């Protein structure tokens, strides 16, 4: 019997498969089972109109048998089957979309075999694990059955054979073990069970296999039981995925259990979002907001992404394109019959349908978080504790591209509410004449409370947002405004209209003193001003435009060599007795006045949480003045 040759491109693909160094060889089973499932689908569909089929939906099945002795792994289905022409057309050439795309993508670069497993390469992937494949098949309605046999790139034969049952057996002779690869594993029950559960759990037909089990021998005594092994056919897959079931029929506990099992989390999810979309793209999605921060969440080891299924078949474990960076904490699955199984990761990125799904999901997630914020503040605060920082990063990232989406979801600590508050609530509480959203940045709530600059505003009952994370100020700077109200730093910026003039007036009245202090401090400060924001404190330090002191500390910690410094302006409270003492000294004892100036500046640095250039000089100064 003359061997038939594969078409040129098929041959090349086959060679790639046979010599594959790809580590995920195991995906071959997924491919073979998918084909079997498709074949069942086809005959099942035919049965709707053709009584001759004689099978109901519940009669279809896929059977796996492993014969270790002969190293044969068989996947059998009672689907539509193939006739001679089908065999020739389907298994002789690569006409299928997936394989064709694969060929295009891989081009001439045969070295890059690493990409193989990322594709659905269909039937040919079996050659990654088998050195000889026999297909025994009989098509529904056909008279005769056929054997298709091939040992790889050399070609294949098609011969008539005896076979009563309609359907197909794919019989794979598993390769001998090598140093790198334990092919024998693919004949082990546990391995096959594992692979079916991993890749084909939601195939709609039962995948059956003889599984050997142990039981207590009948009649053996309870205290000294004897055991025997027996085999039993078992369905390996769970068939109906939880996301395909109507939401109203699934209990919360079922969702939670699914989440814990699937994503290996010890904690229940905080929220489940079930999505069922029809229209431009049809898909089901089941998303979860984790109830705890994964231990590696803020490290580079954490990989975002959703599990992607097509008709219950796993295509990708972590499809990153389905989630924007700012919602990277979401876990879940997406299942769409519109996605072809045969797409590579690269191709997926450009997949229009995928983009549509991703955009829809982003909206759903945002809506769910918004709902939680309004209806379950306590729950939202717990979420915020876990992932709030991520949302703030989201605002700052990409030059604020996503700020409109995220700004309503932010929480900051409020000086008047004494708890976290959304910006929307702050604006609602603003007095009619209040122009700005006030904030103060510092290391902790307690420290900010003690800052001299916050005192006056707080006394007047003005609400101040306390920023204690390094990203907070960047966040405010990126937002710039919220509901058309500008953000203002209580520490560094003008608090009200006309403040400048008022300060100027005060400074003019004490011109000599201010000039003296500036001269005494030299380059250490950019300016010395009269303050309109101080009440009981004599001094404070304010930063110029752009970099604040908290930002300076942040950069100092991560990038000390850059020596980034915020501009320093010393503000003096002309009403304070210390200022009056200074003024008197300027007139009577300039040497002493110099020391006072240094002292006040050092105090301002300390209050701002900035390091003193020379701490021992400072203590000397204090002691000297005590004399
Ligand atoms: P794809 O599944 O992407 O079409 P494959 O190489 O896996 O590519 O399969 C090629 C074709 O062979 C299938 O489209 C199908 O027509 C046929 N085929 C494969 N396996 C079976 C099977 N078990 N029963 C019937 N037809 C099959």
For residue 76, report the distance from its CA to the centre of ligand 1, in Å: 13
Phi, psi of 422 (to 5 degrees): -75, 155
Ligand 1 pocket test, pick from 10, 30, 35, 116 with the greatest ligand atom count within 8 Å of Cβ, gives: 35
> How many whole angstroms separate alpha carbon 486 and alpha carbon 409?
18
Query: Could you read off the pLDDT of 386-416 as tens digits, one per residue?
Result: 999 999 999 999 889 999 999 999 999 999 9
What is the predicted pLDDT for the residue at 593?
Answer: 93
Q: If you take atom 8 of ligand 1, which residue's CA is the nearest one?
A: 122
Q: Are 438 and 423 in contact (CB under 8 A)?
A: no
For residue 363, report the distance from its CA to the centre of ligand 1, in Å: 38
3-state secondary structure (DSSP) of residue 332: strand
Residue 122 near ligand 1, beta carbon < 6 Å:
yes
> How many whole angstroms separate alpha carbon 387 and alpha carbon 479?
19
Residue 87 near ligand 1, beta carbon < 6 Å:
no
For residue 39, report the distance from its CA to the centre of ligand 1, in Å: 8
For residue 489, report the distance from its CA to the centre of ligand 1, in Å: 66
pLDDT beyond 50 at 345? no
74 CA to centre of own chain? 38
* Confidence band for 347, pLDDT divided at 50, 70 and 90: low
> How many whole angstroms separate alpha carbon 290 and alpha carbon 387?
9
Tokens 């500036």 sit on residue: 518
Residue 90 near ligand 1, beta carbon < 6 Å:
yes
* Confidence band for 340, pLDDT divided at 50, 70 and 90: low
The closest of 466, 460, 461, 462 to 446, measured between CA atoms, is 466
Ligand 1 pocket test, pick from 96, 127, 167, 341 with the greatest ligand atom count within 8 Å of Cβ, gives: 96
> How many whole angstroms separate alpha carbon 537 and alpha carbon 579?
10
Residue 77 near ligand 1, beta carbon < 6 Å:
yes
Residue 19 near ligand 1, beta carbon < 6 Å:
no
Token pair recorded at residue 492: 């560094």
Quote the crossing angle between the two packed helices 511-521 and 499-509, to the nearest 10°: 90
Q: If you take atom 20 of ligand 1, which residue's CA is the nearest one?
A: 35
Q: Cα-atom radius of gyration of the chain, to the nearest Å? A: 36
Tokens 């803020």 sit on residue: 298
For residue 245, report the distance from its CA to the centre of ligand 1, in Å: 28
| Beta strand 207-216 pairing with 227-235 | antiparallel
Query: Could you read off the pLDDT of 200-225 as tens digits, one per residue?
Result: 988 889 999 999 888 999 888 988 88
For residue 123, report the distance from its CA to the centre of ligand 1, in Å: 7
Give me the count of residues in the chain.
627
For 206-274, the DSSP string reads -EEEEEEEEEEPTT--SSS--EEEEEEEEE-S--S-GGGS-GGGS-HHHHHHHHHHHHT-SSPPSEEEE
For residue 420, give every residue at least 6 positions away whose Cβ sits within 8 Å of its Cβ, in sequence order, or none.
381, 384, 411, 412, 413, 414
For residue 7, report the distance from its CA to the centre of ligand 1, in Å: 17
Query: Could you read off the pLDDT of 516-529 as tens digits, one per residue?
Result: 999 999 999 999 99
What is the predicted pLDDT for the residue at 506?
Answer: 86
Q: Taking all residues of the chain, what is their mean pLDDT, rounded to a whole number? A: 87
* 0.95 exceeded by pTM: no
What is the predicted pLDDT for the residue at 557?
Answer: 84
Angle (CA) 326-331-334 rounded to 5° is 105
pLDDT beyond 50 at 97? no
Q: If you take atom 23 of ligand 1, which residue's CA is the nearest one?
A: 36
Query: Could you read off the pLDDT of 543-581 as tens digits, one per residue?
Result: 888 788 888 888 888 888 888 889 999 999 999 999 999
**Long-range pairs of 188-195 with CB within 8 A, sequence gap ≥ 24:** 188/66, 189/66, 192/29, 192/64, 192/66, 192/73, 192/236, 193/236, 195/26, 195/29, 195/30
Residue 39 near ligand 1, beta carbon < 6 Å:
yes
Q: If you take atom 4 of ligand 1, which residue's CA is the nearest one?
A: 96
Ligand 1 pocket test, pick from 123, 136, 156, 168 with the greatest ligand atom count within 8 Å of Cβ, gives: 123
Residue 35 near ligand 1, beta carbon < 6 Å:
yes
Burial (Cβ within 10 Å: 0-12, 13-18, ≥19) of residue 65: middle
For residue 244, report the distance from its CA to the centre of ligand 1, in Å: 25
pLDDT beyond 90 at 497? no
For residue 622, give every residue at least 6 positions away whose Cβ sits within 8 Å of its Cβ, in sequence order, or none.
599
Q: If you take atom 15 of ligand 1, which residue's CA is the nearest one?
A: 90
Q: If you take atom 11 of ligand 1, which residue's CA is the nearest one?
A: 90
Query: Could you read off the pLDDT of 101-141 as tens digits, one per residue?
Result: 444 544 444 444 334 434 446 788 898 899 999 999 999 99
Mean local confidence (pLDDT), 467-484: 93
3-state secondary structure (DSSP) of residue 538: coil
For residue 235, report the distance from its CA to the centre of ligand 1, in Å: 23
In ligand 1, the atom with minimum distance to the C-alpha of 34 is: 2
């Amino acid at each position: 019997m003359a061997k038939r040759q594969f078409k040129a491109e098929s041959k090349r693909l086959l060679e790639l498969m046979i010599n594959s160094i790809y580590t995920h060889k195991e995906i071959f089973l997924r491919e073979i089972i998918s084909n079997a499932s498709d074949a069942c689908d086809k005959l099942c569909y035919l049965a709707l109109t053709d009584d001759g089929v004689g099978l109901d939906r519940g009669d279809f099945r896929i059977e796996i048998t492993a014969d270790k002795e002969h190293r044969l792994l068989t996947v059998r289905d009672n689907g539509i089957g193939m006739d001679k022409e089908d065999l020739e057309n389907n298994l002789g050439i690569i006409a299928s979309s997936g394989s064709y795309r694969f060929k295009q993508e891989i081009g001439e670069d045969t070295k890059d075999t690493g990409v193989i497993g990322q594709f659905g390469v269909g039937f040919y992937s079996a050659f990654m694990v088998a050195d000889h494949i026999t297909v025994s098949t009989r098509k529904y309605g056909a008279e005769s059955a056929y054997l298709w046999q091939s040992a790889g790139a050399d070609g294949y034969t098609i011969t008539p054979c005896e076979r009563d049952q309609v359907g197909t057996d794919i019989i794979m002779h598993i390769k001998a073990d090598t140093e790198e690869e334990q092919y024998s594993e693919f004949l082990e029950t546990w391995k096959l069970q594992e692979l079916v559960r991993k890749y084909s759990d939601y195939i709609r037909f039962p995948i059956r296999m003889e599984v050997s089990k142990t039981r207590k021998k009948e009649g053996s005594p309870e205290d000294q039981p004897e055991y025997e092994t027996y085999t039993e056919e078992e369905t390996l897959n769970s068939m109906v995925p939880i996301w395909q079931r109507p939401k109203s029929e699934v209990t919360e506990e079922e969702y939670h259990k699914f989440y814990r099992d699937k994503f290996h989390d010890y904690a229940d999810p905080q929220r489940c979002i079930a999505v069922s979309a029809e229209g431009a793209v049809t898909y089901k999605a089941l998303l979860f907001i984790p109830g705890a921060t994964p231990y590696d969440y803020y490290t580079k080891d954490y990989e975002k992404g959703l599990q992607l299924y097509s008709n219950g078949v796993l295509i990708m474990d972590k499809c990153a394109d389905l989630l924007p960076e700012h919602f990277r904490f979401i876990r879940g699955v997406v299942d769409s019959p519109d996605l072809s199984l045969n797409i590579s990761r690269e191709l997926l990125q450009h997949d229009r349908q995928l983009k549509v799904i991703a955009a829809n999901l982003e909206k759903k997630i945002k809506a769910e978080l918004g709902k939680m914020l309004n209806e379950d503040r306590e729950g939202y605060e717990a979420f915020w504790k876990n992932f709030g920082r991520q949302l703030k990063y989201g605002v700052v990232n990409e030059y604020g591209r996503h700020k409109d989406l995220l700004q309503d979801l932010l929480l900051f600590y409020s000086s008047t509410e004494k708890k976290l508050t959304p910006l929307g609530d702050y604006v609602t509480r603003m007095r009619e004449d209040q122009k700005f959203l006030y904030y103060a940045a510092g290391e902790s709530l307690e420290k900010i409370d003690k800052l001299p600059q916050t005192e006056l505003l707080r006394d007047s009952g003005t609400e101040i947002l306390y920023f204690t994370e390094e990203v907070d100020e960047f966040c405010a700077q990126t937002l710039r405004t919220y509901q058309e109200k500008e953000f203002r730093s209580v520490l560094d910026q003008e608090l009200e209209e006309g403040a400048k003039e008022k300060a100027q007036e005060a400074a003019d009245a004490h011109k000599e003193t201010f000039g003296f202090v500036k001269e005494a401090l030299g380059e250490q400060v950019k300016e010395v001003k009269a303050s309109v924001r101080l009440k009981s404190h004599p001094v404070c330090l304010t930063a110029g435009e752009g970099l604040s002191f908290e930002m300076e500390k942040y950069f100092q910690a991560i990038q000390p060599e850059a020596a980034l410094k915020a501009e320093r302006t010393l503000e003096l409270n002309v009403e304070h007795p210390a200022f009056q003492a200074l003024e008197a000294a300027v007139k009577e004892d300039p040497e002493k006045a110099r020391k006072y100036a240094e002292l006040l500046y050092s105090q301002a640095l300390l209050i701002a949480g900035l390091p003193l250039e020379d701490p021992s000089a400072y203590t000397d100064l204090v002691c000297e003045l005590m004399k």
